[in-house]
Amino acid sequence: MTTTATMWTMASGNPHKVEEIAALLEGAPVVLSPLPPGITLPPETGQTLLANAQIKARATAHAVGGLALADDTGLEVDALGGEPGVHSARYAGEQAGYADNCAKLLHRLTGIHGANRRARFRCVLVLADPSGSELAAEGRVEGFILEAMRGGGGFGYDPLFVPDGETRTLAELSAAEKNALSHRGRAVESLRQQLERLGRWSP
């Protein structure tokens, strides 16, 4: 794999993810490009976050003929045996929106309170090129689930998740504050460290 070409294509149709990861890569020798029109991502049939990220990264790398970065993220709630996990984006159904997913999660946690609402966000990134070479990185953040949504920022389950050491949800943090402690920010940092060790990242 080489990163002499500064263009990475983001293997996601989620504009919020593209925007967030682009911000995390600010100042890096990388230009993150959104998924080009006409390219359809394959179904996420993997049973793990890593498998789904690999599916998207590999398909996009072949489609664009260059480096592709994919993200798969899951919210794992201990009291629910790790749900919604790999199904986080489609927890309330294939066509469900963020509010639908949050509503289902709150319903599933009815009667569960306080310390029993422990959870974590996990993000797995895969950077792939058409030759089949790839790197994977993971980031996670521990916290707990509120009993009602709070905050207007972020996306997904952010209005329900309070990270350890904070009193605010991810949706109440500024973008810079969220990126400094988030699972996605930690995954990007892990990927950067791997590329630095390989001599393929210039500060």
Give tens-digit pLDDT for 5-51.
479 999 998 888 899 999 998 888 898 999 999 999 999 999 999 99
State residue 196's pLDDT score: 85
Whether residue 200 is predicted with pLDDT greater than 50 in this model: the reply is yes
Q: For residue 26, what pLDDT is reported?
A: 85
pTM: 0.91
What is the percentage of the chain residues whose pLDDT exceeds 90? Answer: 84
Q: Which residues contact 57 (CB under 8 A, 6 or more apart)?
A: 11, 68, 69, 70, 126, 127, 128, 134
CATH class of 7-197: alpha beta
Q: Encode pLDDT of 77-100 as tens digits.
A: 999 999 999 999 999 998 999 999
Q: How far apart are CA 133 and CA 87, in angstroms?
A: 27
- Measured in degrees and rounded to the nearest 5, phi and psi for residue 74 equal -135, 145
Please report the pLDDT score of residue 87 as a whole number: 96
Report the distance separating Cα 53 and Cα 11, nearest Å: 9
Cα–Cα distance measured from residue 59 to residue 70, given in angstroms and rounded to the nearest whole number = 10
Residue 177 has pLDDT above 80, yes or no: yes
Give the pLDDT score at 201: 67
Predicted confidence band of residue 1 (pLDDT cuts 50, 70, 90): very low
Q: What is the pLDDT of residues 100-126, one digit of tens each?
A: 999 999 999 999 999 999 999 999 999
Of the pLDDT bands very low, low, confident and very high (cuts 50, 70, 90), residue 202 is low
pLDDT surpasses 50 at 135 = yes
Q: Can you read off the two tokens belonging to residue 184?
A: 């996605």
- 103: helix, coil or strand? helix
> Active-site positions?
72
Q: How far is CA 159 from CA 38, 57, 95, 192, in A?
A: 33, 28, 20, 28
Question: What local confidence, expressed as pLDDT, does residue 184 receive?
Answer: 95
For residue 68, what pLDDT is reported? 97
